[in-house]
Every structure is written in structure tokens, then in C-alpha cells.
């Protein structure tokens, strides 16, 4: 909410009588013209938005997610599109000392023209651009944003990097993606990933507006709390960044008021011409008790209303309403008795917290389709499954403001990666300058959010060098190591430390933390269980055998794939696709051998489906992959959780489990526990249990793990299970009755949006009531019609 409020305060405020006018703003959101490179396709499209969604909304293309359309529509991303429109400035442009054209986000490479004059260029999707258009703007204007295909740009940049190649060149063929994504500052998974399609979008993906002002203008406003132990007092650092257009220094008074904390302070400030930064320290009154912000499951997420008023002389006034949160975060890396290495855990408000959660990827290939309702639904599902944290993974995007607002409210801690993943990156001057601007902007934009508890330089790039993923000859390695340190230490870390001292920074995930630093930022083995965090994947070993799992300090990635439900797949497929071995099923699987790995893993414990009805066979197989995934991740997570307080053979004190991955970008097999659209897979219901605050885990010391009910899984007992549904207010109760012990009972209501209070459970009682929470109005009749019930006993 912070930035939204900030802008509202700056633009919306009128001036005091007789004072110089405050800023004026003119939004350029709305309908624009879009044209393809040779002008053969011209259409209207919304801003914020992108070419793909504009074409879809105009009915010029089918759903890009339908069947093989990711390949069919490759031409869209290969073309160079132009966005344009005319606009009338609703204010007299001559009265303003400075007029800026501000883009909160341009995707990605573009030349910007106003009235046929180039006013700027963009090359970074994650940067904010502000172009001075004072001398160009008129009463009526024509604006053009001429894009260059991200694919062609990345290829061109790679070609011109002559001294040495920067791998990987291309993704593996199974991903059906585009090459050289590491040469463009754009969502890395938009060129394809092992769970996602290649849709290198083009468009204006965030707000765009004209801002006009005299005197001075507030650009950034941030809050960072800290606790001063010696004084036993909270303080709040307020940083404000202004553009001062007045030729003389601007002198003013700033008043900060936090009524509920009985804190009011006034400061005198002087802003020099040009970009001016002021930092104020507000000491919170000791006469009240400050309620701290806590992660979900540990306390409330208290925030305090606060007003900051800038009286900048001559009656020029800016009023800023925000919420102040108070919490401390420490990443504790210290020796552990009886164990070589160092601990790796988070202390929030002085209390060690076990991190329970998952990894977040972009919720859609087209960011303009990620609605606030969808964010709320997915993030609510996160806390509903007893999670307290998510990692915003480095191959996606820095999420929109609302994402972090919701996490603040729900108590979801965020491990925030910078957007670099599974690759080496160039460090030439232009590239570095672009990254520096990106990092500075993103840290300023995000640092007021209490939910963010860690900055992390990249995803798996330390491991990529240490493990030589790209077969670099040893004598050439030095240059890549230097580039690595230059990017993540000498640039990104340096900026983070300058901008935000209130939370820790690690260079990579996985990393050995302090030990990696000691080894000059690149550990020989970043997966060392005695230090830092680990990522662990093993699809071949029996996942019920806990001895295969690393007894790590912190499990930040681990997982198994499954297929999404039939109702989700049905929307993007046709009858001939509905088999496990169809071209469609192969096409949607982006992880080599993934479909076989799922059957292999399921086959270790379950009878594989054999039904002669092809559709039933497909649905049974989907069900079984979800059973397998839920059971595997449960076994692994329970292992991590029970390793919290023990050291065995020098390993243990595990303090985090973030499974891979929370959500999906499209309808395809993946590691996710939530399907595209938010539907819960069996794993998500299991997460609710294995992340429960009180968790019984059954295991024996001799190395054998017994999971309750497992011995009954292949019982030959006859059983009948049918269900009745009744309405209780907005909820629906399903009464289940069984004549025998029933494993992995699965209720599915197809496309009806909502979730059950439990699912995929072992039914040992004769009668059980399951509640359905609908996310949209629904009738009993619709539920009855859509309900299907499956248990392991139905698979034969
Ligand atoms: C990890 C992630 C992703 C990937 C996942 C599954 O390496 O960081 O790159 O999608 O594994 O393979």
C-alpha cells in the first residue's frame, strides 16, 4: 500500500492558497494502439498489458495456453511491436519547471518517442524509468514505444559479447524455449523453464504517467525499523528522496506522527538542488509498548498508522500516510556444539523460527493477468496450509506491491532473490549499469515491507560454477569467477548494504553463507550440509526412505512432480490429448524423463493404474502422481522438521523447509502444490498437516520410517464409500461413510472454485465430515453433479 498511498498523497493534494502549485499527474493507462513490425496487424490493447493478452482479448489469437499454442504463437515474440497513442495534457505544460514521463515497468527493450523525438530507451524490465520531457511535451502529443523482440535482442547481445561466451546458450530442447535469456534483464523463465512455457512477452507491464512539478518532488519514501538494545527503544528510519528543481536549497519542516505510539516529532530539513535524500530517525516513545510484527503462527502482524507531513516552505506541502511495522531479523550463523560448520537460521524479534513454506514462481506468463484476487487466493492458501514463509525465486519477477502488502498482512516471511537464475551472466559496463539501477530501485521499492526477511543474490549460480554445470575448461574458469564476484558482491551486495542495513544478504541459494564468503564467495561445495542452505532433488531413490535426504541446516528447495487435475487440463486440451503418453502430455512436460520418473516413484509403493477405459486410466494416473508427490514431500518435510533439535554424526539443526514449488504458471506437470488458477493438489492438503504446529512424526532409530497407515495401503478389504452434501451457511458439509479403512480419499469437484478443509486423507473411521469452502457462489446440486470420489482402492 505504501507506494500507492505515496502517489495519492503527492498528486492529489491541492496547494495552499497562494502557494506554488503541487505536482500534477496525467495517467497514460488505458487503451493504446498496437502495431506489428510491418504494420500488418494493428489492434487496440490495454496498458498495463502485453501484446499476447491484447491479441487474445481482440479475438485475434486463441488462448495461448491451449494445447501447442506456445509453439504456434512464437511469431508474436519474434516480431517488433509498437505501442502508440495520442494524449492531451490536461494542464498547461508551460507552467511547469519539470515534466517527466514515468514508466514503472517496460517489458523490455524499447525506444520511447514523444512527438517524433526520442526521449529515452529501456533495456530492463525490472527498472523504473523517468524521462525528462519538459522540452518536448505540448498540449496534444503522440507517444510511441517501439519494442525490439526480446529474443532478437538477447541473441544480438550474446553475439556482440565477443571476448568469451556466457553460458548456457539455450535451454534444453525438452523446454522448447528461446536462447540467451541471460543477456536480457527480463523475467528469466519467460524464455521457458522446466515447468513453464516460452512466452517472451512485449509490453508496458506497469503504470505509465506524466508527472509535472515545480519546486521539488518526492520520488521515494521508505521506512526501516530498528531496535536499539542499549536504550531498549525502537526507532524508525525514514528515507525520502526528492527531485529538487528549485535553483536554491529548499528549507522545510517535516512532522512525523504515530498517534497510537504517542510519538510526534518535527525536524528541520534542507534539500539541495538536484536529487536530494533526507534520512530522519524517529525514536519511538518509551511510554507505550510497541507490538511487533510476527510471522504467521507466532503472533500478530501489528502495524501502526503514521502520517508524515513535509512543509517545504512557501506553503508547499506533501502529506504521506503509511503503516509502520516493527520487527527485527537476524540470520544466525554460529558454531554448534558437536557439529562442524555453522548454524543457519532466522531469529525474528529475538526468537529462533523454523521456516515452513515453499517457493513462489510467477503466477502467469502474462503479468497483467495476475489479479489481486488471484494473489489473495494463493497467499491465503499459503497460510491456510500452515506455512510462514515463501521464497520469491530468482528466475521470475520482483513481485507487484500488492503481493508484499498481502504477505505483510498474513505474516508470510519473504526470502527475496534478485532475478538471476541457473546461468552465468555478463558484466560489461552497460549491463552492470542497468543491473545497478534495477537493484537500487527494487531495494528502495521493497524495503519498507516487514515480510521481507532476506535478500539473496541469485538462484543456483554459485552451484553452477562450483559444479561446473556448463563444462568450462579449468584454465578459462577464472574469468567467470571474477564476473560472479563482480556482479553479486561488488555490485549487488554493495548496493544492498548501502540501501538497507536492516536485513541480511546472501550471495546465492544454495550457499554456505559465511563459509562461502571465506572461500572467496564460491564454495567448493555449496550443498555442504554443515553450512547454509541446500537444494536437493532425487527422483530415483525411494522417497519414503528418509535416509536419502540430506540432514541440512536449511532445506530451501526439494520436491517431486505431479500432474494437475483433469478439470484443469481439460480447459487447454482436446479429447485426443487425454492419455499419459499423448503428444500433449509429452509436450507439456518440460523436465526430461519427468513423466517416467513420476510413474517410477509411484510404482515403488503403489499398483500402477491398468484400467481399460482410457479416460479413467488417465484420471487414475493423474490421481496417483498426486498421491506420490504428496507422500514423498510429506516424508521429506517430516524428516527436516524432526531434524530441528538433533545433531547426528555432526549433522542436523535443520531450521527451514521450503519445498519446490508453491504455484504454477500454466496447466502442466510440475512440482507445484497449487494448480494454475489456485486449485489445491493433494500435496497442499498434506502440507496443511505436515506443516501443522503440532506434528506427530513416526520413525524408528534403526533407520526405518513408519508412516501411519502405510501398512494398510494395499489392503484387499472390500469397501464401499458414497457421500451426502449439506449446506451450512456459506459452507458445505460432505458426509463420507466407509465400510473399510480407505487410503488417500480424494474429493474433487472439477471446475468449482474452492477448497476442502481436508483431502487425500486416510479414512479409518466409519463416518467423516469434510467441509467445502467455495470461492464463488455454488449450489448443492452443482456440487453433487461435479463431485467425484477416488481412493487408492479405486485404482486397479
Ligand atoms: C531448482 C529451481 C528451478 C527448477 C527446479 C526444478 O533448481 O531453482 O530452477 O525449476 O529446481 O527442477
Question: Which residues have a Cβ under 8 Å from the Cβ of 72 and sit 6 or more positions away?
Answer: none
* CA–CA distance, 427 with 484 (Å, rounded to integer): 8
Which ligand 1 atom is at minimum distance from the Cα of 395?
A: 9
Q: Is 171 exposed, middle or buried (0-12, 13-18, 19+ CB in 10 A)?
A: buried
- Please report the pLDDT score of residue 10 as a whole number: 30
* CA–CA distance, 397 with 416 (Å, rounded to integer): 10
- Please report the pLDDT score of residue 729 as a whole number: 80
* CA–CA distance, 408 with 257 (Å, rounded to integer): 21
Q: Is the CB of 794 under 6 A from ligand 1?
A: no
Q: Is the CB of 422 under 6 A from ligand 1?
A: yes
Contact 238, 222 (CB under 8 A): yes
The CA 524 to ligand 1 mean position distance, Å, reads: 20
Ligand 1 pocket test, candidate residues 557, 591, 665, most atoms within 8 A of CB: 557
In this structure, which residue's CA is closest to atom 8 in ligand 1? Answer: 459
* CA–CA distance, 23 with 214 (Å, rounded to integer): 7
- Please report the pLDDT score of residue 11 as a whole number: 30
In this structure, which residue's CA is closest to atom 1 in ligand 1? Answer: 557
Q: Is the CB of 641 under 6 A from ligand 1?
A: no
The CA 753 to ligand 1 mean position distance, Å, reads: 28
The CA 671 to ligand 1 mean position distance, Å, reads: 9
Q: Is the CB of 189 under 6 A from ligand 1?
A: no
What are the tens digits of pLDDT across the range 132-144?
A: 999 999 999 999 9
Which ligand 1 atom is at minimum distance from the Cα of 559?
A: 6
Is 139 among the residues known to form the active site?
no
Give the pTM: 0.93
The CA 189 to ligand 1 mean position distance, Å, reads: 11
* CA–CA distance, 93 with 644 (Å, rounded to integer): 63
- Please report the pLDDT score of residue 33 as a whole number: 98
Contact 667, 678 (CB under 8 A): no
Ligand 1 pocket test, candidate residues 175, 182, 194, most atoms within 8 A of CB: 194
- The backbone torsions φ and ψ at residue 417, rounded to the nearest 5 degrees and listed phi first, read -75, 150
Ligand 1 pocket test, candidate residues 362, 422, 511, 659, most atoms within 8 A of CB: 422
- Cα-Cα end-to-end distance for the chain: 53
The segments of the chain whose pLDDT lies below 50 read: 1-20, 704-720
- Please report the pLDDT score of residue 706 as a whole number: 38
Q: Is the CB of 664 under 6 A from ligand 1?
A: no
User: What Å distances lie between residue 70 and 29, 175, 179, 192, 700, CA to CA?
Assistant: 28, 11, 15, 10, 49
Beta strand pairing status for 754-756 and 216-228? unpaired
Contact 534, 257 (CB under 8 A): no
The CA 317 to ligand 1 mean position distance, Å, reads: 49
The CA 594 to ligand 1 mean position distance, Å, reads: 13
Output the nine-digit C-alpha cell for 502. 536492516
Which ligand 1 atom is at minimum distance from the Cα of 394?
A: 8
- Please report the pLDDT score of residue 430 as a whole number: 97
Q: Is the CB of 6 under 6 A from ligand 1?
A: no
Catalytic residue among 178, 460, 515, 675: 460
Beta strand pairing status for 24-27 and 98-103? unpaired
Q: Which of 213, 214, 235 is nearest to 225 (CA)?
A: 235
**CA angle (725, 726, 730) in 5-degree steps:** 120
Is 557 among the residues known to form the active site?
yes
- Please report the pLDDT score of residue 722 as a whole number: 85
Ligand 1 pocket test, candidate residues 660, 665, 669, most atoms within 8 A of CB: 660
Question: Strands of 452-456's sheet, edge to edge?
Answer: 505-506, 452-456, 413-417, 389-392, 355-360, 656-659, 555-558, 534-536
* CA–CA distance, 105 with 204 (Å, rounded to integer): 6
Name the DSSP letter for residue 489: I
Q: Which of 757, 758, 756, 749 is nearest to 780 (CA)?
A: 749
Q: Is the CB of 207 under 6 A from ligand 1?
A: no
What are the tens digits of pLDDT across the range 645-672?
A: 899 999 999 999 999 999 999 999 999 9
- Please report the pLDDT score of residue 388 as a whole number: 97
Catalytic residue among 557, 638, 651, 675: 557
Amino acid at each position: 500500500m505504501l507506494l500507492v498511498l505515496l502517489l495519492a498523497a503527492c498528486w492529489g493534494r491541492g496547494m495552499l492558497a497562494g502557494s506554488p502549485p503541487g505536482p500534477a499527474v496525467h495517467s497514460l493507462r488505458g487503451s493504446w494502439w498496437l502495431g506489428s513490425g510491418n504494420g500488418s496487424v494493428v489492434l487496440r490493447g490495454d496498458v498495463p498489458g502485453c501484446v499476447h493478452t491484447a491479441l487474445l482479448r481482440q479475438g485475434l489469437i486463441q488462448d495461448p495456453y491451449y494445447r501447442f499454442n506456445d509453439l504456434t504463437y512464437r511469431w508474436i515474440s519474434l516480431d517488433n511491436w509498437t505501442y502508440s497513442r495520442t494524449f492531451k495534457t490536461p494542464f498547461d505544460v508551460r507552467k511547469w519547471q519539470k515534466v517527466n514521463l514515468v514508466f514503472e515497468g517496460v517489458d523490455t527493450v524499447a525506444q520511447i518517442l514523444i512527438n517524433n523525438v526520442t526521449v529515452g530507451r529501456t533495456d530492463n524490465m525490472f527498472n523504473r524509468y523517468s524521462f525528462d520531457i519538459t522540452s518536448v511535451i505540448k498540449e496534444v502529443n503522440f507517444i510511441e514505444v517501439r519494442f525490439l523482440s526480446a529474443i532478437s535482442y538477447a541473441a544480438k547481445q550474446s553475439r556482440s559479447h565477443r571476448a568469451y561466451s556466457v553460458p548456457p546458450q539455450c535451454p534444453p530442447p525438452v523446454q522448447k524455449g528461446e536462447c540467451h535469456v541471460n543477456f536480457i534483464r527480463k523475467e528469466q523463465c519467460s524464455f521457458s523453464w522446466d515447468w513453464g512455457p516460452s512466452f517472451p512477452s512485449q509490453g508496458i507491464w506497469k503504470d505509465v504517467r506524466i508527472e509535472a512539478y515545480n519546486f521539488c518532488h518526492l520520488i521515494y519514501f521508505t521506512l526501516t525499523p530498528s531496535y536499539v538494545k542499549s536504550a531498549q527503544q525502537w526507532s524508525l528510519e525514514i528515507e525520502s528522496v526528492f527531485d529538487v528543481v528549485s535553483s536554491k536549497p529548499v528549507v522545510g519542516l517535516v512532522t512525523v506522527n504515530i498517534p497510537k505510539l504517542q510519538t510526534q516529532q518535527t525536524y528541520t530539513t534542507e534539500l539541495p538542488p538536484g536529487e536530494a535524500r533526507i534520512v530522519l530517525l524517529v525514536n519511538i516513545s518509551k511510554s507505550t509498548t510497541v507490538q511487533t510484527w510476527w510471522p504467521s503462527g507466532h503472533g500478530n502482524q501489528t502495524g501502526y498508522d503514521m502520517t508524515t507531513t513535509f512543509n517545504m516552505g512557501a506553503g508547499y506541502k506533501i502529506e504521506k500516510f503509511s503503516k509502520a511495522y516493527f520487527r527485527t531479523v537476524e540470520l544466525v550463523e554460529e558454531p554448534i556444539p558437536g557439529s562442524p560448520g555453522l548454524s543457519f537460521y532466522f531469529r525474528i524479534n529475538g526468537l529462533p523460527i523454523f521456516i515452513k513454506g515453499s517457493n513462489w514462481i510467477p503466477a502467469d506468463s502474462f503479468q497483467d493477468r495476475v489479479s489481486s484476487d488471484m494473489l489473495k487466493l494463493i497467499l491465503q492458501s499459503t497460510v491456510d496450509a500452515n506455512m510462514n514463509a515463501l521464497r520469491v525465486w530468482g528466475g521470475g519477477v520482483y513481485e507487484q506491491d500488492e503481493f508484499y502488502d498481502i504477505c505483510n498482512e498474513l505474516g508470510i516471511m519473504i526470502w527475496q532473490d534478485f532475478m538471476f537464475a541457473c546461468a552465468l551472466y555478463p558484466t560489461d559496463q552497460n549491463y552492470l549499469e542497468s543491473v545497478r539501477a534495477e537493484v537500487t530501485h527494487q531495494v528502495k521499492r521493497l524495503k519498507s515491507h516487514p515480510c521481507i526477511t532476506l535478500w539473496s543474490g541469485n538462484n543456483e549460480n554459485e552451484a553452477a560454477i562450483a559444479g561446473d554445470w556448463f563444462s568450462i575448461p579449468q584454465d578459462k574458469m577464472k574469468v567467470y569467477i571474477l564476473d560472479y564476484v563482480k556482479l553479486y558482491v561488488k555490485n549487488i551486495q554493495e548496493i544492498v548494504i548501502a540501501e538497507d542495513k536492516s536485513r541480511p544478504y546472501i550471495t546465492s541459494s544454495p550457499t554456505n553463507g559465511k563459509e562461502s564468503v571465506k572461500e572467496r564467495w564460491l564454495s567448493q561445495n555449496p550443498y555442504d550440509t554443515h553450512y547454509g542452505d541446500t537444494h536437493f532433488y532425487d527422483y530415483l531413490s525411494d522417497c519414503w526412505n528418509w535416509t536419502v535426504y540430506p540432514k541440512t541446516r536449511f532445506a530451501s528447495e526439494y520436491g517431486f512432480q505431479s500432474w494437475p487435475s483433469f478439470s484443469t487440463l481439460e480447459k487447454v486440451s482436446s479429447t485426443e490429448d487425454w492419455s499419459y503418453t499423448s503428444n500433449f502430455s509429452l509436450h507439456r512436460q518440460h523436465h526430461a524423463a519427468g513423466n517416467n520418473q513420476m510413474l517410477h516413484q509411484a510404482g515403488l509403493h503403489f499398483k500402477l493404474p491398468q484400467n481399460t477405459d482410457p479416460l479413467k486410466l488417465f484420471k487414475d494416473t493423474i490421481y496417483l502422481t498426486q498421491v506420490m508427490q504428496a507422500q514423498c514431500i510429506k516424508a521429506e518435510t517430516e524428516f527436516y522438521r524432526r531434524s530441528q533439535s538433533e545433531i547426528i554424526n555432526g549433522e542436523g539443526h535443520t531450521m527451514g523447509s521450503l519445498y519446490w514449488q508453491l504455484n504454477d504458471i500454466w496447466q502442466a506437470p510440475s512440482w507445484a502444490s497449487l494448480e494454475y488458477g489456485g486449485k489445491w493438489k493433494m500435496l497442499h492438503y498434506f502440507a496443511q498437516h505436515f506443516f501443522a504446529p503440532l506434528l506427530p512424526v513416526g520413525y524408528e532409530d534403526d533407520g526405518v520410517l513408519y508412516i501411519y497407515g502405510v501398512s494398510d495401503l494395499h489392503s484387499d478389504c472390500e469397501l464401499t464409500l458414497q457421500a451426502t452434501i449439506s449446506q451450512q451457511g456459506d459452507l458445505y458439509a460432505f458426509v463420507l461413510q466407509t465400510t473399510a479403512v480407505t487410503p488417500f480419499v480424494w474429493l474433487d469437484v472439477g471446475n468449482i472454485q474452492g477448497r476442502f478443509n481436508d483431502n487425500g486423507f486416510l479414512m479409518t473411521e466409519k463416518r467423516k465430515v469434510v467441509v467445502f469452502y467455495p470461492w464463488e457462489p455454488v449450489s448443492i446440486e452443482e456440487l453433487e453433479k461435479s463431485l467425484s470420489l477416488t481412493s487408492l482402492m479405486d485404482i486397479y
